[in-house]
């Protein structure tokens, strides 16, 4: 008490004097006791706060940025000016005793209105000065715009003049009429002289603004152009998803995290990159849920966690494999947990039989699934090559279970595509056979735990049985062998216990690789499995870009997914995988796909794998010295031995696995004419047969095989909703050099090792594009390089719709103001362009036939074209010929009425009436929906679209997308489930009950967020207000997964998967960039520079490049480009916090300020994603302006991602394809000699 009495408060003589002094300047009266003060005047400043709410109107809109947020916002307008924005708070409730979705938002979104009137706003159309000057001169000579453009691009000197000017300023204000005329002339010219597949478009992530996405894609596809993919290119696609589930990506909404009993954030920095949803992670801990985070650095999400596992960057699969070792041993061997085993028997491929192959040297290795085609009495079944088999536990009889891919496409098997085992209980292990003792053999398996990634061979043992001459085991048995989990009596090398560091995949083995203590691995694995068992499968892993964007991300994901699949967590609310990298989920999928790709008028579209397109056309393959030898399994047969990655692309193309455009050196329309003439002469049975004959004879080749020949260049590139050169362009300097033709910072030389099947030219071309066009509302790295820049409307100036996987709602964009200055919405822009194109095309193109090359597609019978996953190349296999649709692409003839493109663009075409719309092999009859559109939208009264429903406004586009999608139209969902019931023989209609009459319209989305409905388009259920979780329909209704077995896969038996040693989950270390690309060894230092792993995580104060130039966001940290590094690495080269450094390797240079932080581990540098090159200073190394974060990266294309044509390993747009991964890169980081920089 004595001490407390000595504490003095703020009162005292000095305080009294200050009050008197203040009163002298500001008079007031007060009560005697001083409790009330009465002031007069001095309140003028209050008006600022009152006027903030004195707006004329408020409008609902959202942000069309690839952040997965899709948050609904109020936009306030005063006197026609957008003043500010605030979060909406009227989301539908998620139910009692649960946190709500609202309010959703983040500081980045709250700063968006700054862009409306910012200095970076594109206000008018601009054209590059030299091009505009020459075009006007040419128009004075050639009155026809197409002829005028031809006179420029056919003159090498003229073409070089404007191509070389790209990126060097000189954009001149033009008019909309002139810009559109020039664009249309270039597109018509390209089709006329080269073919429609030289016109390319790129725009990412449709879900973030579906109408704007559709606006340009519809135009591109109607003229026969090419759309490049983005989900795989961004490395947002987890390739393990199609490999394991046969699904692109289906994940739970964030509200489902609340139901998790155990939650691991693995490479997912939720509070930083999923800000609107981060509250769920914090809140779920109040329910007693344990939260674990796995990341190499002390990331923002670590403070949310109860435990942090600091795995070294790129080693996550080793950690997951060790956890899998513990789970398998303790739950499948030491004891057999019924809940886990029943799940595995029903929903995974673990009980299926696998043949063992005996090599010439006597070595035995796992080979292929045993299928009905290999069994007497079963081989006559339809599609028997695609019907893997099981063995009955009671009788030992081999049987074909329902639900395999072979059942899906055979008319005689209709109603059998389901997971009903019909009372049978299959064996999990060969040791489960009724005869008791079984034979056991040694097998060889690959391992890659060497830090350099070199493969080695391990010896394990498996029990075997013999079926009609085939030596077989189960997937489960080889899984135990892979994980090193021994059982008594089996030969081979096995771990003695968890502390045995000498055997792969034990907790002790992983410790020196990951730095995670073995004790922690054992404990977390046990907790994870125990929680799953006690809660009925409610253990969850949130996956993120931190593990998704590595070269071997697919093996990492498969190792982690194995933990979930082994513990029965998939298809459960609160359980399973939760991958969030990119706003990939366009919930009204059927409508978006069909309207955007103009499938109502023309089929099929031209879709291209983005990574393969950029890898080849930016000539990055020229500096790619490695062949696939380096990464092969030591047990490989040699099918990929000494094969350059460019040759992998070529082989995949001609096998019909993956698409590549342009297709052929010849114009595809001229080729169609020749084909029809040959058919008329009786020289070919069809147009496709004519193409195949020429390809087989060598008279015709694929463009990919001579990619640097000018006839095979992409000629025009149209970009919208994208900042390609400031964000996703891995190997940005190669883009600038070879595709754009601008200044570059490429430091390396062409490799000495050349492709064998892709022709090599001694001098690489520079500036392949005839025309580069960007439509954007702000100046970016991409607009500065473009020939034409178009001003587009912001997200507060147009009608559109948005959705995300993070919540189940459809959101509207609404115009708070009309687009200012001369800006137009994307729909207005492409509609006007379609009109101008049609005007020019009537004269130059007319009506033409076009040959479209289409790969063997997922969710079509093309999946069953290549039995057994065998991969012989018809071109290099004596006696083999290529057959379209079998071991070669399909070649489809399409009629294009170019003069009527505008009519088709603005109307709903007749193919909806005739063919309906198909999504995931479910066809929807749309006659009723087309009639509704005609009634509600009106019909066109003239032209090719006369009498057809009108699509002439952005609102009608939005309405049409929602009209024909089951998620937004209950009537369509009912049709889909009826069709799916026929295929499966299951009762599914209850999933659509209560929604038959419900339909979401655009005004409804403007009034409030609209929850979507359960539909066959997706694998989960929202029925009854349920929180969405993927695969609940598969697990609860026994609908098959879209895989070979109809179950989730651990084992992938394609030839190339065996060649790469990845048939099963496995750990593969980060790439050895020293051995592959002669980059420096990690940790190498000379006192001036140090070699570090160069990582590019997402930014805290930006969404990709969006907001990085925003004044508010720049003030949140240091502003401008920065590179984070550890104190240890900084000390090695004498760098202090805030000093200028350069990151440099053979690919390019990045210049930024050092952020020296203890949160970064030694040997790593963080250069946050999409730091715009517009603000980068010049480099001391090159004397040129430093590049973006991707200037130091390059495209690293993985051969196994090019597999296609086999079961669930088959191409679909953004479903499967090589990823644009970039996390394996190594860079020198050096302190600049001069800290005075020049911008």
Q: What is the DSSP string of 1128-1163?
A: HHHHHHT--TT-EEEEEETTEEEEEEEEE-TTSPTT
* Angle, in degrees to the nearest 10, between helices 176-193 and 129-141: 80
Strands 788-791 and 771-776: parallel
**Distance between CA atoms of residues 1113 and 529, nearest Å:** 42
Extended beta strands in 707-859, E state: 716-720, 771-776, 788-791, 800-802, 809-813, 847-854
Taking Cα atoms as reference points, which of 639, 641, 628, 654 lies closest to residue 706? 654
Distance CA 1152, CA 1167 (A): 9
What is the pTM for the complete model shown? 0.96
Q: How far is it, in rounded angstroms, from Cα 534 to Cα 569? A: 11
Query: Could you say which DSSP state residue 455 is in?
Result: -
Q: Left, alpha or beta for 146 (phi > 0: left; psi -120 to 50: alpha)?
A: alpha
- 622-645 per-residue burial string, b: 16 or more CB within 10 A, e: under 16: bbbbbbbeebbbebbeebbeebbb
Query: Three-state SS for 1045?
Result: coil
Distance CA 703, CA 222 (A): 22
What integer pLDDT is reported at residue 4 of this predicted model? 44
Q: To the nearest 10°, the Cα dihedral for 305, 307, 312, 315? A: -90
Segments in the chain below pLDDT 50: 1-7
Torsion sign (Cα): 1163, 1167, 1173, 1176: negative
Pairwise CA distance, residues 719 & 792, whole Å:
12
Tens-digit pLDDT profile for residues 131-175: 999 999 999 999 999 999 999 999 999 999 999 999 999 999 999
Peptide bond into 604 cis (omega under 30): yes
Three-point CA angle 1162, 1165, 1166, nearest 5°: 130
Sign of CA dihedral 572, 578, 583, 584: negative
CB 937 within 8 A of CB 906: no
Cis peptide before 702 (omega within 30 of 0): no
Crossing angle (nearest 10°) for helices 970-984 and 927-937: 170
Determine the 3-state secondary structure of 371 from DSSP. strand
Tokens 């026809």 correspond to 144
Q: State whether residue 75 is helix, strand or coil.
A: strand
How long is the chain?
A: 1239
**What is the spatial distance between Cα 1221 and Cα 722, in angstroms, rounded to a whole number?**
18
Which domains can be identified in the chain, with CATH numbers? 252-310+516-579 (3.40.228.10), 327-507 (no CATH), 883-1003 (1.20.1700.20), 1073-1231 (2.40.40.20)
Contact 1043, 1049 (CB under 8 A): yes
Q: Token pair 């922690």 is at which residue?
A: 520
Nearest CA to 417 out of 404, 429, 430, 427 is that of 404
Residue 208, pLDDT score: 96
CA–CA dist 116, 76 (Å, integer): 13
CA-to-CA distance for 271 and 766, rounded, in angstroms? 43
* Order of all β-strands in the sheet with 576-579: 307-309, 290-294, 262-266, 539-543, 576-579
Q: Dihedral of CA 905/909/911/912: which sign?
A: positive
d(CA 1101, CA 1099): 6
């Amino acid at each position: 008490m004595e001490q407390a009495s000595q504490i003095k408060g703020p009162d005292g003589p000095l305080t009294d004097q200050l009050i008197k002094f203040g009163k002298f300047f500001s008079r007031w009266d007060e009560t005697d006791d001083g409790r009330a003060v009465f002031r007069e005047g001095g309140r003028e400043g209050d008006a600022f706060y009152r006027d903030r709410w004195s707006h004329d109107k408020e409008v609902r809109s959202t942000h069309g940025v690839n952040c997965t947020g899709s948050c609904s916002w109020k936009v306030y307008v005063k006197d026609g000016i957008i003043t500010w924005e605030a979060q909406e708070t009227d989301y539908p409730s998620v139910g009692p005793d649960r946190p709500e979705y609202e309010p959703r938002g983040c500081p980045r979104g709250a700063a968006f209105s700054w862009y409306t009137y910012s200095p970076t706003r594109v206000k008018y159309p601009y054209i590059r000065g030299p091009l505009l000057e020459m075009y006007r001169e040419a128009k004075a000579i050639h009155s026809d715009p197409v002829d005028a453009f031809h006179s420029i691009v056919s003159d090498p000197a003229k073409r070089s003049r404007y191509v070389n000017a790209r990126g060097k300023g000189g954009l001149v204000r033009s008019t909309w009429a002139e810009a559109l005329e020039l664009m249309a002339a270039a597109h018509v010219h390209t089709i006329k002289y080269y073919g429609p597949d030289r016109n390319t478009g790129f725009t990412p992530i449709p879900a973030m603004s579906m109408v704007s996405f559709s606006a340009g894609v519809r135009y591109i596809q109607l003229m026969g152009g090419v759309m490049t993919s983005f989900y795989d290119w961004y490395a947002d696609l987890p390739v393990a998803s199609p490999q394991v589930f046969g699904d692109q990506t289906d994940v739970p909404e964030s509200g489902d995290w609340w139901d998790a009993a155990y939650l691991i954030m693995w490479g997912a920095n939720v509070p930083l990159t999923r800000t609107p949803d981060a509250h769920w992670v914090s809140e779920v801990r109040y329910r007693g849920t344990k939260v674990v985070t796995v990341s190499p650095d002390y990331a923002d999400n670590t403070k949310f966690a109860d435990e942090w596992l600091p795995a070294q960057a790129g080693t996550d699969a080793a950690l997951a494999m060790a956890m899998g070792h513990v789970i398998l041993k303790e739950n499948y061997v030491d004891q057999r947990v019924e809940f886990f085993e029943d799940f595995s028997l029903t929903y995974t491929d673990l009980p299926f039989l696998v043949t063992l192959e005996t090599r010439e040297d006597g070595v035995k290795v796992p080979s292929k699934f045993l299928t009905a085609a290999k069994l007497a009495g079963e081989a006559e079944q339809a599609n028997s090559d695609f019907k893997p088999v099981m063995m009955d536990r009671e009788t030992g009889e081999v049987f074909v279970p329902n639900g395999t891919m072979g059942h899906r496409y055979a008319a005689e098997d209709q109603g059998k595509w389901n997971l009903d085992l019909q009372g049978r209980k299959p064996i999990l292990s060969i040791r489960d056979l009724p005869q008791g003792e079984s034979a056991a053999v040694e097998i060889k398996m690959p391992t890659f735990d060497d830090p350099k990634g070199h493969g080695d061979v391990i010896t394990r043992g498996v029990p075997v049985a013999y079926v009609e001459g085939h030596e077989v085991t189960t997937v489960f048995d080889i899984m135990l062998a892979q994980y090193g989990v021994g059982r008594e009596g089996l030969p081979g090398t096995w771990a003695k216990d968890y502390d045995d560091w000498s055997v792969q995949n034990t907790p002790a083995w992983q410790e020196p690789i990951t730095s995670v203590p073995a004790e922690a691995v054992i404990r977390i694995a046990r907790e994870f499995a125990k929680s799953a068992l006690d809660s009925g499968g409610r253990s969850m892993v949130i996956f993120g870009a931190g593990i998704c964007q590595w070269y071997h991300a697919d093996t990492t994901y498969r190792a982690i997914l194995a933990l979930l699949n082994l513990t029965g967590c998939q298809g459960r609310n609160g359980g399973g995988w939760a991958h969030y990298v990119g706003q990939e989920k366009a919930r009204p999928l059927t409508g978006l796909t069909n309207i955007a790709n103009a499938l109502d008028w023309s089929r099929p579209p031209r879709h291209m794998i983005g990574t393969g397109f950029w890898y080849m056309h930016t000539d990055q393959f020229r500096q790619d010295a490695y062949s696939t030898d380096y990464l092969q399994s030591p047990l490989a047969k040699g099918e990929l031995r000494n094969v350059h990655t460019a040759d992998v692309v070529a082989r995949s193309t001609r096998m019909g696995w993956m698409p590549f455009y342009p297709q052929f050196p010849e114009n595809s329309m001229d080729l169609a004419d020749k084909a029809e003439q040959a058919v008329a002469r009786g020289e070919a049975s069809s147009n496709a047969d004519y193409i195949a004959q020429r390809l087989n004879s060598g008279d015709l080749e694929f463009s990919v095989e001579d990619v640097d020949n000018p006839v095979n260049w992409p000629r025009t590139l149209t970009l919208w909703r994208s900042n390609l050169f400031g964000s996703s362009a891995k190997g940005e300097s190669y883009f600038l050099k070879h595709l754009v033709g601008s200044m570059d910072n490429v430091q390396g030389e062409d490799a000495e090792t050349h492709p064998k099947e892709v022709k090599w030219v001694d001098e690489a071309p520079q500036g392949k594009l005839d025309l580069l066009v960007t439509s954007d509302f702000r100046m970016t790295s991409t607009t500065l390089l473009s020939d034409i820049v178009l001003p587009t409307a912001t997200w507060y100036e147009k009608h559109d719709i948005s959705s995300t996987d993070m919540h189940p709602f459809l959101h509207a964009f609404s115009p708070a103001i009309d687009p200012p200055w001369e800006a137009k919405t994307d729909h207005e822009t492409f509609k006007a362009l379609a009109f101008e194109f049609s005007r020019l095309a009537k004269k130059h193109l007319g009506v033409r036939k076009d040959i479209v090359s289409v790969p063997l597609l997922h969710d079509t019978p093309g999946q069953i074209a290549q039995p057994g996953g065998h991969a012989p190349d018809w071109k290099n296999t004596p006696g083999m010929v290529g057959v379209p649709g079998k071991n070669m692409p399909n070649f489809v003839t399409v009629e294009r009425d170019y003069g009527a493109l505008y009519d088709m663009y603005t109307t709903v075409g007749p193919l909806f009436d005739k063919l309906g719309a198909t999504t995931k092999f479910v066809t929807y009859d749309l006659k009723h929906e087309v009639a509704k559109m005609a009634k509600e939208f009106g019909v066109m009264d003239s032209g090719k679209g006369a009498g057809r429903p009108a699509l002439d406004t952005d609102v009608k586009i939005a309405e049409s997308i929602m009209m024909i999608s089951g998620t937004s139209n209950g009537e369509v969902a009912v049709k889909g489930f009826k069709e799916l019931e026929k295929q499966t023989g299951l009762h599914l209609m209850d999933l659509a009950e209560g929604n038959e009459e419900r339909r979401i319209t655009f005004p409804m989305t403007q009034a409030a967020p609209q929850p979507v409905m359960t539909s066959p388009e997706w694998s989960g259920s929202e029925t009854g207000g349920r929180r969405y979780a993927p695969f609940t329909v598969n697990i609860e209704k026994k609908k098959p997964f879209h895989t070979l077995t109809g179950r989730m896969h651990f084992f992938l038996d394609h030839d190339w998967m065996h060649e790469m040693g990845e048939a099963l989950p496995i750990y593969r270390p980060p790439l050895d960039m020293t051995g592959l690309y002669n980059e420096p060894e990690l940790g190498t230092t000379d006192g001036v520079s140090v070699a570090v792993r160069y990582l590019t995580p997402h930014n805290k104060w930006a969404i990709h490049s969006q907001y990085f130039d925003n004044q508010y966001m720049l003030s949140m940290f240091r502003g401008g480009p920065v590179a984070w590094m550890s104190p240890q690495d900084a000390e090695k080269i004498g760098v202090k916090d805030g000093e200028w450094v350069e990151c440099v390797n053979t690919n390019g240079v990045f210049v930024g300020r050092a952020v020296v932080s203890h949160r970064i581990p030694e040997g790593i540098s963080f250069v946050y994603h999409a730091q715009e090159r517009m603000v980068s200073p010049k480099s001391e190394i090159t004397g040129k302006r430093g590049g973006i974060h991707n200037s130091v990266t390059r495209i690293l294309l993985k051969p196994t991602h090019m597999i296609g044509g086999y079961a669930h390993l088959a191409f679909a747009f953004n479903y499967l394809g090589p990823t644009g991964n970039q996390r394996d890169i190594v860079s020198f980081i050096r302190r600049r000699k001069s800290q005075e920089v020049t911008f």
